[in-house]
Amino acid sequence: MDNYIILVNKEAGPTSRKVINDLEKILKIKKIGHTGTLDPMATGILVCLTNKYTKLVPLLSSLEKEYIAEIKLGIKTDTLDITGNIIETKDAPHLNEEKIKEILENLQGEYLEDIPLYSAKKVAGKRLYEYARKGEEVKLPQNKVFIEELELLEYHGDLIKFRAKVSKGTYIRSLIQTICDNLATIGTMASLERTKQGIFPITVSSTLEDIAKGNFHKLKIEDVLNVQVINIKEEDTIYKKVINGNKLIDNYQGYVLYKKDNQELALYNFNHKEGRLVIKII
């Protein structure tokens, strides 16, 4: 079974699920997952995992993400992005660049955001977009996230372009609404590109077209995590514990990848009193 991580450069249009479906057909693999949904209009890096590596989704999903986003000032839509129906218009104000930079700087740190109505977040067993499509009222949940960096890249006319480095679970559409509220105006997300996730920059990702031609990297655990590799033998006392996924007691710190004859067996996390199994690969 071929277990690896593949970095897809998603184009605007398809859903993340559609990208996965296409990838499964191209690679002839039945089980592929990803570590963070991109809206259909969004582009950029989508970290995908095959076969047993899909068990790493929760771990890799927690990695911080970096985006380049554009705000179209003067309009507000029901989806909070340019693809939605316009529900409000207003003359775009003339803003001071220093004021924009100040607001972006003040929003850095812990941030409580409203989850967008048009999102896949579940409330009472239904996804929020299902409530939206049926016109049903629902109280939007909030999400505590961390905004590490916000940088103004460009401002002219009715367009603001910025870079954001954020924690897992951050909705850039919601962040844009907060930015606009602080600017005493309205706006909507005009474009979004995920340029980095964890250690992965978009420059090392591949389009589906490239992947279909075989032009892509197959990354392993050692390529993406700071791990200590331990080779063990069948006769070692620890061997049966590893292949059975038992907790381990040892003096290691951090992640340990156990191998036999250079074949991956299991990944353990030793940031606890006992080493806990993260993923069994055999």
Q: How far apart are CA 172 and CA 164, in angstroms?
A: 8
Q: How far apart are CA 252 and CA 267, in angstroms?
A: 13
Q: How far apart are CA 191 and CA 193, in angstroms?
A: 7
- Tokens (6 digits) for 12: 């605007």
Distance of CA 249 to the CA centre of its chain: 33
C-beta separation of 70 from 41 below 8 A: no
C-beta separation of 242 from 254 below 8 A: no
- Residues 208, 212, 216, 222, CA torsion sign: positive
Pairing mode, if any, of strands 276-280 and 263-269?
antiparallel
Pairing mode, if any, of strands 126-127 and 122-123?
antiparallel
Q: How far apart are CA 12 and CA 18, in angstroms?
A: 12
Catalytic amino acids? 39
Neighbouring CB atoms inside 10 A of 235's CB total 6
Q: How far apart are CA 235 and CA 226, in angstroms?
A: 27
- Tokens (6 digits) for 233: 């033998």
C-beta separation of 280 from 268 below 8 A: no
